[in-house]
Amino acid sequence: MLAITDLHASVGGTPILKGLTLSVGAGEVHAIMGPNGAGKSTLAHVLAGREGYEVTGGTAVFLGQDLLAMAPHERAAAGLFLGFQYPVEIPGVSNLLFLRTALNAQRKLRGEPEVSGAEFLKRVRAEAQALGLDMEMLKRPVNMGFSGGEKKRNEAFQMGILQPRFALLDETDSGLDIDALKVVADSINRFRGPDRGVLLITHYQRLLDHVRPDRVHILAAGRIVESGGPELALRLEAQGYGAIAA
Amino acid sequence: MRELPSRREEAWRWADLRLAERLRAVPAPANDALPDLDSLALVRPAARAVLAGGHAIESAGRPTHPAPDRSIAPHPLADIAAAEALAGLVVDVGEGEDGGLLECVHLGTSGAAHSVLRVELAAGARLTLVETIADAEADHWSNIRLDARLGEGAELVRILRIETVHGLASTRAHVALARAARLAEVSMIASPAAVRAETHVRLEGEGAEAVVNGVLLASGSAALDVVTRLQHEVPHTVSRQLWRLVAAGMGQASIAGGVAVARHAQKTDAAQSLRGLLLNRTAAVNLKPELEIFADDVACAHGCAVGEIDPLQRFYLESRGLPRPEARALLMQAFAAEALHALADPELSQPLADRLAGHLGALA
């Protein structure tokens, strides 16, 4: 589904990713773990196409398309979703209006008809209920006045409404208490499916207690240094990153 | 002939009056071809007055050649309007009456055109006045003077919409408020040309309240220049100003936002927010808060900032599927739309918001 080969990327002229290779198949959930500064968030932003994250080498193929040649909105329409580590506050833009505009922009690019207001609201109600989000809150400006946990739940909510093919979740578990962690983990588990892929970027093992990954990769100094099954995450939790880097 | 003000004067430093100089002695012809007037209306159906090149074409209210309010302090452009106007409009609304909605369209044709509007609201009277300034395809100078007087508890809602493409539009509104009178004014000025718009409000009775908001969209090589002055003359009056200025291309959008509190006007409650958004580095925004406060027990909040579209906010929207121009337009709308909140009636605010969205979409 997503095949990254020998990816090099720089931010502000500093090389961060140095030959990263990783492949996620349909129906799979992969986790990337790694110490601070390893390049985890850079990978997420490079894949989503953020300006200032310069690809200096390598390829990323998503569903047969050259991901790196696409504009950010085209990547979204192709089915890529980035769950932000720090969801952005946007004053004056209603969360629901924004989401409906985004959904219809994606559908337009894919040549699909617009979603009607009634159909959209039906989806919104179902997803809000599943995530324990208040409808009034969702009408507020995007992420304004949301707590850290609410922002992460709002990311999961957007994923639920936009129904992407592939979710790239950047530290979705940070800033969540135990209950919110379970709610968000449930939404990822609901998202899982035979034609969908997930890449979880995380510091800690605890999210992986709720979302069992098929593969775990360790990212250090801009490359994948070790890959394995879920047991790798447990070993990491016990031994720390120091042992890996050594 | 009265002298035109010069840019050397502080109050006129951002104004572009070159067309006034050039066209001063060229009166607008009476019979220019007119565009479709219905397409110029903001709200339908409304009582309507149309002045094309300063000549009355259609009229609601009382089309006359109104005498200006002589009690108002001199003003270089408003005084030229009073001296040279060929036509104008008088609107009197009697005690406790609702004057409804009146739309007054000024159409710049070619040459110089001057008009005078007088609005007199008796105690408890109400009126919604929509003033639109647009133009045909030629250089012009459209110079308009509005003298308004609001009696006790009267209420005026004023929308000033300037959507000129070619000429210089200059307006000066003077609004005097008696006890407990209310003014809600929203300007939407979207133009690649030259505009000077002044609003001067005198809060003369206790409990009077004025909200003076606006959005400026300067594109092309626009010089949009707004001056406000909210003058608190007595204790216990309230004023609010919220202006959002967007500049693109080589456009320049400027505001001098004034609040003046007289010596005995204690318990004045004034607030002002001026913000600018630059869409590129060749555009310019000038923000100048002018506070003159001579009383000590007052609240005068003010804030002033210029910025650009936040790339991270834009990326967040793009990552959800919005193409870049749509993401920019949405952020610009969020920035500007706050100024329209002063209009409580969605029948007024919605068409204005739609026009605004259209203009912003074109800039994005």
SS3 track for chain B: CCCCCCCCCHHHCCCCCHHHHHHCCCECCCCCCCCCCHHHCCCCCCEEEEEECCEEEECCCEEECCCCCCCCCCCHHHHHHHHHCCEEEEEEECCCCEEEEEEEEEEECCEEEEEEEEEEECCCCEEEEEEEEEECCCCEEEEEEEEEEECCCCEEEEEEEECCCCCEEEEEEEEEECCCCEEEEEEEEEECCEEEEEEEEEECCCCCEEEEEEEEEECCCCEEEEEEEEEECCCCCEEEEEEEEEECCCCEEEEEEEEEECCCCCCCEEEEEEEEEECCCCCEEEEEEEEEECCCCCEEEEEEEEEECCHHHHHHHHHCCCCHHHHHHHHHHHHHHHHHHHCCCHHHHHHHHHHHHHHHHHHC
B321 touches chain A (CB under 8 A): yes
Q: Given an 8 Å threshold on Cβ–Cβ distance, is A90 in contact with B334?
A: yes
Is the pLDDT score of B180 beyond 50?
yes
Helix (H, G, I), strand (E, B) or coil at A141: strand
- B21-30, B36-45, B93-102: which has the minimum mean pLDDT? B36-45
pLDDT at B238: 98
pLDDT above 70 covers a percentage of chain B that reads 96
Question: Tokens 């979740």 belong to which residue?
Answer: A169
Mean pLDDT value of segment A25-46: 94
d(CA B127, CA B155): 7
Give B209's pLDDT tier (boundaries 50, 70, 90): very high
Nearest CA in chain A to B339: A92
B83 touches chain A (CB under 8 A): no
d(CA B353, CA B166): 23
Q: Are B251 and B277 within 8 A, CB to CB? A: no
d(CA A31, CA A29): 7
What is the average pLDDT value for chain B, to the nearest integer?
93
**Torsion sign, CA atoms B361, B340, B276, B218:** positive
d(CA B230, CA B176): 10
d(CA B311, CA A11): 15
**Torsion sign, CA atoms A155, A159, A160, A161:** positive
Q: Could you tell me the two tokens for B233?
A: 């003359």
Q: How far apart are the first and last CA of chain B?
A: 44
Is the pLDDT score of B62 beyond 80?
no
Across the interface, of A77, A92, A109, the residue whose CB is closest to B334 is A92
pLDDT at A229: 93
B320 touches chain A (CB under 8 A): yes
Is the pLDDT score of B6 beyond 50?
yes
d(CA A37, CA A15): 12
Where are the strands (E) in chain A, listed by range? 2-11, 14-24, 29-33, 53-62, 65-66, 80-83, 90-94, 141-142, 166-170, 197-202, 215-220, 223-228
Residues of A in Cβ contact (< 8 Å) with B333: 92-93
What is the average pLDDT value for chain A, to the nearest integer?
93
pLDDT at A246: 45
Taking only the tens place, the pLDDT of each residue in A80-111 is 999 999 999 999 899 999 999 999 999 999 99
Mean pLDDT value of segment B116-143: 94
DSSP 8-state class, residue A237: H
Q: Of B237, B241, B215, which is closest to residue B228 (Cα–Cα)?
A: B241
Mean pLDDT value of segment A151-160: 94
Phi, psi for residue A139 in degrees, rounded to 5: -85, -15
pLDDT at B136: 82
Give B43's pLDDT tier (boundaries 50, 70, 90): confident
Q: Given an 8 Å threshold on Cβ–Cβ distance, is B320 in contact with A109?
A: no
Residue A144: exposure state from Cβ atoms within 10 A (0-12, 13-18, ≥19) = middle
Residues of A in Cβ contact (< 8 Å) with B315: 48, 50-51, 72, 88
A residues 160-219 closer than 8 Å to B (CB): 162
Q: Which helix (H) or strand (E) holds A102?
A: helix A95-109
ω before B235 within 30° of 0 (cis)? no
Strands B126-135, B98-108: pairing is parallel
Query: Best residue in A90, A144, A169, A170 to probe B by mutation, most B CBs within 10 Å?
Result: A90
CATH class of A2-245: alpha beta
Is the pLDDT score of A119 beyond 60?
yes
Where are the strands (E) in A97-157, listed by range? 141-142
Q: Are B228 and B290 within 8 A, CB to CB? A: no
Rg (CA), chain B: 20
A141 touches chain B (CB under 8 A): yes
pLDDT at B49: 82
Q: Given an 8 Å threshold on Cβ–Cβ distance, is A88 in contact with B313?
A: yes
Q: Cα distance from A77 to chain B (closest Cα, Å)? A: 6
Mean pLDDT value of segment B266-273: 97
Give A148's pLDDT tier (boundaries 50, 70, 90): confident
A112 touches chain B (CB under 8 A): no
Residues of B in Cβ contact (< 8 Å) with A141: 334
Q: Are B53 and B113 within 8 A, CB to CB? A: yes
Residue A1's CB is within 10 A of a number of other CB atoms, namely 20
pLDDT at B31: 63
pLDDT at A245: 54
B326 touches chain A (CB under 8 A): yes
In DSSP terms, which residues pair with A15 in a beta bridge?
A10
pLDDT at B87: 84
Q: Could you tell me the two tokens for B308?
A: 């650009």
Is the pLDDT score of A218 beyond 90?
yes
Q: Cα distance from B287 to chain A (closest Cα, Å)? A: 22
ipTM surpassing 0.90: yes
Rg (CA), chain A: 18
Highest mean pLDDT: which range of A131-145, A167-181, B142-156: B142-156
pLDDT above 90 covers a percentage of chain B that reads 80
Q: Could you tell me the two tokens for A186?
A: 């449930």
Is the pLDDT score of B298 beyond 90?
yes
DSSP 8-state class, residue A67: G
Give B117's pLDDT tier (boundaries 50, 70, 90): very high
pLDDT at B33: 65
Mean pLDDT value of segment B258-286: 97
Taking only the tens place, the pLDDT of each residue in A192-206 is 999 999 999 998 888
